[in-house]
Amino acid sequence: MTADREEIARFEALAEEWWDPMGPMRPLHALNPVRLAWIRALACRHFGRDERQLRPLGGLAALDVGCGGGLLAEPLARLGALVVAIDPAAASIEVARRHAAEVGLAIDYRVATAADLADRGETFDLVCALEVIEHVDEPEALVADLARLTRRGGLLLLSTLNRTLASLLGGILAAEWLLGWLPPGTHDWRRFLRPSELARMLRTHGLQPVALTGVGWDAAHDRFVLVRQPSINYMLAAVRS
Amino acid sequence: MRSTSADVIVLGGGLTGLSLAAALGSAGVEVAVLEQEDWQELLSAPYDGRVTAIARGPQLFLDAIGAWRDMAGAAEPIRDIVVHEAGSPVRVCYEGREIDGKPLGWIVENRAIRRALFERVTRLPTVRLQSRAQVLAIEREATAATVTLAGGERLRGALLAVCEGRLSATRERLGIPARRFPYRQTAIVCTLAHEKPHRGLAIERFFPDGPFALLPMQGHRSSIVWALEQQRAEAVCLLEDAAFLAEVAERFGDHLGEIALEGPRWHYPLVLVMAERYTDHRVVLVGDTARGIHPIAGQGWNLALRDVAALAETLVDRLRLGLDPGDPLALATYESWRRFDSLVLVAVTDGINRLFANEQWWLGLVRNFGLLVVEQLPPLKRLFMRHAMGLLGELPRTMRGEPL
């Protein structure tokens, strides 16, 4: 069991507010477009799809690990993927199920961990675990599970926070305490992984890192953007060969 | 009871509603257009005698969504524009060759635009056109809006785009306040046939009792848009054709030779309408429904098309990311994108009308000094030209000649 019980309780309290883009999940809603654009670009390049289509991921089996209220799972489904989405917090899954039914999307939501699915031998073309690895006790065990869940030739996408002075100041001090983007105590800086550490874990488990990008805040336009330096938040893509 | 759905429900199948449907449909978005009237009636000749000025930016947009091709044959290029006050030698001449030698804009008859948009939209597989649609109720939930039609159909969409014009019933029904400022002017519109060619010249001439515009149409024809104080306008409308033509000839002289009326005279009371906001839960207001301006600079539909292009880009960009096209973030993007441009044009058209429809002697000096300054300062003039052509501001990519 890699999911921490205290962490689960914290997200359950927030579950009902997942879908209010002006509510407590506002930062995730604001992050979504830039993340989705990156995921779409990489997935389209990797699977040879046309980015301008409305359903470019048509027919791909996708897994969203740590799906919360479904903020990533729903867009993936709208883009055409056949989505399984898991989260250990039952309240989040309940919120996600109701919301998907309301907007008419067929998504297979389950209260489960990556280990549960991997043990059953399920595999996917596209596996996403965004902002998950910094919340688990044993990141390397999670990477091993994600590797098992990714099909040969499939794509794994991760996002997390770097362990730098900038992430301590920007990711925790600013985001949790000054700007109030996240509830204080959401993150523990000591658990953060550097991109090099994460890449090493991926290689150990048969995954080849193929792309890395930083995500930054563009204060002038009040939005998140992709940046070269992965100094605070970053996304990493790997292919299972 | 039948239940159907679409990504976007367009209320109103006029020029603005059809362009939005054409733009979204060309990107594969599921759209349902609900129009009260019958299409055949809307497309028939007597329905709308007006012409519309289409500036360069909006023309690029119409081309990008595949609608320009069908109306290009009916479009007359505006090569030059002359603006001046009656009786004054000071004039501003916008000449196409000062920018790039291409037309500054085009004049197209509304029925040709409507026909072209209709043809375009009927070829798009994801657009459904429903005429004689009577809306009985609109319900809005967290993630969708549902329209109930007479006949029992319930149509559900992530977003309602209201394109019903300045007197929009849906805007009222949804309780979005709109302020009205009557101009106490009536616009008289008609088509003139004339002996000599117009050479693509548009003329805007200001008289103390209201502005008079002469717009080049295909062949030896021009459209007149003549705003007059209400009672004067009524009196002019009652004149016999010959007497009316004499009044017209007195206004713009004899440079076109013999003139004759072609078709009926139309008149429309002028009113500025401004909605308090352009969005509401699961709803956007587009074009004249958001704000309807004075026709003085021929900018009304250009402004509407900038709404359409900005909205289409906002929605298509979100849908291509798999995001909900009607959530509060989408609405906020549209609202903030369109507000500034709108206010500028309301102020410009309203200001020009007030400035020129005033007989204070010193304002006459201000006006002519203003025109003189514009004419003598080419960079300033080019800036005004580019603004009138719809090439300034934060343009949607379709108005920069890129695909949606």
DSSP secondary structure, B115-156, as one string: HHHHHHHHT-TTEEEE-S--EEEEEE-SS-EEEEETTS-EEE
Burial of A207 (0-12, 13-18, 19+ CB in 10 A): buried
What is the reported pLDDT for A12?
60
Whether the pLDDT of residue A11 is over 70: the answer is no
Is A103 within 8 Å of B29 when comparing Cβ atoms?
no
Cβ-Cβ contacts under 8 Å for A184 (sequence gap 6 or more): A176, A177
Is A76 within 8 Å of B322 when comparing Cβ atoms?
yes
CATH of B182-271, one of 3.20.20.120, 3.30.9.10, 3.90.1640.10, 3.30.460.10: 3.30.9.10
Fold observed for domain A5-240: Rossmann fold (3.40.50)
CA B164 – CA A172 distance, rounded (Å): 49
In this structure, the strands spanning B91-95 and B201-207 are unpaired
Count H helices and E strands in chain B, helices first. 12, 19
Which segment of A105-114, B259-268, B281-290, B370-379 scores lowest on mean pLDDT?
Answer: B370-379
CA A238 – CA A213 distance, rounded (Å): 12
Query: If DSSP codes are grouped into helix, strand and coil, which group holds residue B321?
Result: coil
Whether the pLDDT of residue A104 is over 70: the answer is yes
Query: If DSSP codes are grouped into helix, strand and coil, which group holds residue B224?
Result: strand
Q: What's the whole-number mean pLDDT along residues A163-187? A: 79
Q: Which residues pair with B285 in a beta bridge?
A: B162
Cβ-Cβ contacts under 8 Å for A183 (sequence gap 6 or more): A10, A14, A24, A176
What is the reported pLDDT for B187?
92
Q: Taking a contact as any Cβ pair under 8 Å apart, which residues of chain B between 281 and 340 contact chain A?
A: 318-324, 327-329
What is the reported pLDDT for A156?
98
Task: Please check whether residue B394 touches A, CB under 8 A.
Answer: no
Whether the pLDDT of residue B52 is over 60: the answer is yes
Cα angle: A86, vertex A90, A96; to 5 degrees: 65
Q: What's the whole-number mean pLDDT along residues B208-230? A: 91
Q: What is the pLDDT of residues B343-355, one digit of tens each?
A: 888 887 877 777 7
Closest residue in chain B to residue A34, using alpha carbons only: B321
Is residue B156 within 8 A of residue B18, CB to CB? The reply is: no
C-alpha distance from A241 to closest chain B C-alpha (Å): 27
Is A78 within 8 Å of B141 when comparing Cβ atoms?
no
Q: Which residue, among A171, A137, A123, A118, has the nearest Cα to A3 in the 3D structure? A: A137
Is residue A32 within 8 A of residue A71, CB to CB? The reply is: yes
Tell the residue number behind the tokens 């961990």, with chain if given.
A113
Whether the pLDDT of residue A48 is over 90: the answer is yes
Q: Residue-wise over B368-383: b if at least 16 C-beta within 10 A, else e?
A: beebeebbeeeeebee
CA B381 – CA A77 distance, rounded (Å): 51
What is the reported pLDDT for B179?
94
**What pTM did the predictor assign?**
0.91
Which segment of B18-22, B112-116, B156-160, B265-269 scores lowest on mean pLDDT?
Answer: B265-269
Q: Which residues pair with B149 in a beta bridge?
A: B135
A52 vs B5, B143, B320: nearest CB: B320
Terminal C-alpha separation, chain A = 27
What is the reported pLDDT for A1?
47
Residue type at position A29:
H
Q: Map out the domains of chain A as residue ranges.
A: 5-240
Residue type at position A134:
E
Q: What's the whole-number mean pLDDT along residues B339-343? A: 85
Task: Please check whether residue B144 touches A, CB under 8 A.
Answer: yes
What is the reported pLDDT for B1?
66
- More confident of the two residues B223 and B361: B223
CA B399 – CA A102 distance, rounded (Å): 36
CA A148 – CA A115 distance, rounded (Å): 9
DSSP secondary structure, A154-222, as one string: EEEEEEEE--SHHIIIIIIIIIIIIS-SS-TTS--GGG---HHHHHHHHHHTTEEEEEEEEEEEETTTT
Closest residue in chain B to residue A99, using alpha carbons only: B143
Q: What is the pLDDT of residues B95-113, one digit of tens each?
A: 888 888 889 999 999 989 9
Q: Which helix (H) or strand (E) holds B378?
A: helix B378-388
User: In chain A, which ranges are E strands?
Assistant: 61-65, 82-87, 108-111, 124-130, 150-161, 207-218, 223-227, 233-240
Q: What's the whole-number mean pLDDT along residues A98-107? A: 93
What is the reported pLDDT for A64?
98
Whether the pLDDT of residue B199 is over 50: the answer is yes
Q: What percent of chain A has pLDDT over 90?
A: 65
Instruction: Categorize the per-residue pLDDT at A16 as very low, low, confident or very high, splitting at 50, 70 and 90.
Output: low
> Phi, psi (5° rounding) for residue B300?
-55, -55
Average pLDDT value for chain B = 91
Region for residue A66 given its phi and psi (left: phi exceeds 0; alpha: psi -120 to 50; beta: otherwise): left
CATH code 3.50.50.60 for B3-75+107-180+272-400: yes
What is the reported pLDDT for B374?
78
Q: What is the pLDDT of residues B107-139, one digit of tens each?
A: 999 989 999 999 999 999 999 999 999 999 999
Cβ-Cβ contacts under 8 Å for B118 (sequence gap 6 or more): B18, B39, B43
Average pLDDT value for chain A = 90
| Chain A interface residues (partner B, CB cutoff 8 A) | 19, 21-22, 29-30, 32-33, 36-37, 40, 51-54, 56, 74-79, 99, 102-104
> Phi, psi (5° rounding) for residue B83?
-120, 125
CA B358 – CA B379 distance, rounded (Å): 28
Is residue A155 within 8 A of residue A42, CB to CB? The reply is: yes
Q: What is the pLDDT of residues B299-327, one digit of tens each?
A: 889 999 999 999 999 999 999 999 999 99
Whether the pLDDT of residue B252 is over 90: the answer is no
Q: Map out the domains of chain B as residue ranges.
A: 3-75+107-180+272-400, 182-271
What is the reported pLDDT for B390?
80
Q: What percent of chain B has pLDDT over 70?
A: 99
Which segment of A95-109, A184-198, B98-112, B370-384 scores lowest on mean pLDDT?
Answer: B370-384
What is the reported pLDDT for A241?
86
CA A195 – CA A162 distance, rounded (Å): 7
A36 vs B27, B143, B323: nearest CB: B323
Question: Residue A67's CB: how many other CB atoms inside 10 A?
Answer: 28
Contacts of B320 in chain A (CB under 8 A): 40, 51-54, 56
CA B27 – CA B36 distance, rounded (Å): 26
Region for residue B401 given its phi and psi (left: phi exceeds 0; alpha: psi -120 to 50; beta: otherwise): left
